[in-house]
Structure 1
Amino acid sequence: MRFRYILPLIMALSGHGIAVAAPFAYITNQLTNDVSVIDTATDMVVATVGVGVTPLGVAVNPAGTRVYVANVNSNSISVIDTATNTVAATVPVGNDPIGVAVNPAGTRVYVANRSSNNVSVIDTATDMVVT
């Protein structure tokens, strides 16, 4: 069976995060604290990237060069370089980050922090929190 048919069902039932940077899909795995990189053309897992504890939210920048992963129990964002499928940076944020979004220009990442009840804003040029 092809991933394109079962992936939406898996995501709906499991609570995993998914983001696409063609031709790859990035899927968070909360129990193993990593991200699976799937080649959507071949439906094969081509890499597994270790990130922080309990990865959940995930987003890709508009250029498709960086993937941002919210690590709920590490209070951090892992920045994955899509060219190498390695963690390029780990950015500390508020408590229990669950959601992440990148602005259309790709210059800012917005992180929803559940327990600290705030939003962290990351400058993508420096991978530093600016507010």
Structure 2
Amino acid sequence: MSKLDASQFPLVKVTIESVNEGHDQNKYFNDYESLLKTGKKFIMINEISAPDVKDTKSNKEHMKMMNLWMKKNREELRMNVLGMIQVEPDEVKRQAAIDFKEVFFKYWGHELFVVSTKEEALSLAKEKLELAN
């Protein structure tokens, strides 16, 4: 199951897992929506390689749920999420994530930043949060 950890808000740690492993994503989306409803800006960091987009798209039920959720929360996503920072140490996967940035932005309404280390992610998150304040 994908998870959000907002214990260090406005820095939100994210774990995104494959939807094709029978995981219920409702809690993730409910938690995400609760963060959006605060009206406060935050940035997200995912330190685990994101699942293959093809896996997500092949799960029609999940895509329908996610698209409805996106439609409902689009404005809050654009206003409150400063971005998603993907930590990807593997060069090939990192390049694939970089190549996906434009699609990500069009769908989620906020930027995807791709870095190779946790330290880079934390530094970038701090920079983005300072600029937002």
Structure having the higher strand fraction is 1
Structure having the higher helix fraction is 2
Is the shorter-chain TM-score for this pair beyond 0.5, marking a shared fold?
no
Output the TM-score relative to the length of structure 2. Answer: 0.29
